């Protein structure tokens, strides 16, 4: 059984139990067993309410973030580590096993060229320190390759695998996203295979960030590729129904991704479960 997850952005731009709770009937009916909480501003997370919510509904949480534009992990790595410390504390407190996402750079920052050796050296040095800090909280650290329009530092599963092998920390994993893979990989089979030894988390996102099944993603190929590598981790729907203004610019989200926002959950989740089942994956709680 692969756990079916749902990113907060499908419901609201921030994690707020009071916004999620009224929708739990329909969400649980679709088999969701995990919620991804973006830690854009960790101090805003109500830890007690989140823990109580998870116990009440018997669901897991996974925390994620994208580093803000004010940080530079290469020029000022200590400042970036200090920024991440509250996120590590919140992740541990709410019961997340990891902190994942764009933990190695800034969403929306590119140089117009490939990563330089100095940048790659800087990323590896930063991730080595970040992985040690995560381990001190009992956490794993995920790195999510993103498309060329959002970063030039890490675009493919093979890029992430190379970074992990160089850093050598045993608590770093790869977090792939079908939206980014659709732009950067030769195929889903090639991308997932390259990341397979380190793959720990997957976003199942449509090509337009909207309703799965109403875009151009080849879902049969994506699900089959996951079957082929024996992936047993979570599959989390990330849709940009609602995006916090702090990262909307970096993600280039400037119009609605679905005519009817409810369709992301009510049509998208059943579609993903069927696509998974057709490939031989059981997706649910």
Catalytic residues: 144, 238
Nearest to 175 by CA among 139, 143, 223: 143
Residues paired with residue 142 on neighbouring β-strands, in sequence order: 173
If we measure between CA atoms, which residue out of 172, 253, 185 comes closest to residue 222?
A: 185
Question: From CA 160, how far away is CA 154, in angstroms rounded?
Answer: 6
Q: Which two tokens stand for residue 29?
A: 């009916």
Contact 67, 73 (CB under 8 A): yes
User: How many other β-carbons are positioned within 10 Å of the β-carbon of residue 82?
Assistant: 12
| Phi, psi values for residue 97, rounded to 5° | -80, -10
């Amino acid at each position: 059984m692969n756990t079916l997850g749902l990113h907060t952005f499908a419901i609201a731009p921030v994690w707020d139990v009071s916004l999620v709770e009224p929708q739990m009937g329909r969400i649980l009916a679709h088999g969701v067993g995990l919620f991804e909480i973006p830690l854009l501003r960790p101090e805003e997370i109500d830890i007690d309410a989140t823990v109580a919510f998870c116990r009440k509904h018997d669901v897991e949480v996974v925390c994620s973030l994208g580093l803000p534009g004010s940080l530079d992990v290469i020029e000022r790595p200590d400042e970036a580590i200090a920024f991440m410390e509250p996120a590590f504390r919140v992740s541990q407190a709410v019961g997340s096993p990891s902190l994942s996402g764009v933990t190695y750079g800034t969403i929306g920052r590119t140089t117009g060229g490939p990563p330089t050796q100095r940048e790659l050296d800087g990323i590896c040095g930063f991730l080595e320190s970040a992985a040690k800090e995560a381990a001190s909280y009992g956490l794993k650290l995920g790195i999510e390759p993103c498309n060329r329009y959002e970063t030039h530092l890490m675009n493919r599963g093979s890029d992430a695998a190379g970074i992990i092998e160089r850093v050598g920390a045993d608590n770093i994993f790869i977090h792939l996203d079908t939206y980014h893979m659709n732009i950067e990989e030769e195929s889903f089979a090639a991308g997932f295979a390259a990341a397979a030894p380190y793959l720990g988390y997957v976003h199942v996102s449509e090509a337009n960030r909207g309703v799965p099944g109403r875009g151009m993603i080849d879902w049969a190929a994506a699900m089959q590729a996951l079957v082929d590598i024996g992936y047993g981790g979570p599959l989390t729907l990330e849709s940009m129904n609602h995006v916090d203004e702090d990262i909307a610019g970096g993600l280039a989200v400037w119009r609605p991704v679905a005519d009817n926002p409810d369709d992301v959950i009510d049509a998208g989740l059943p579609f993903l479960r069927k696509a998974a089942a057709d490939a031989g994956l059981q997706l649910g709680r």
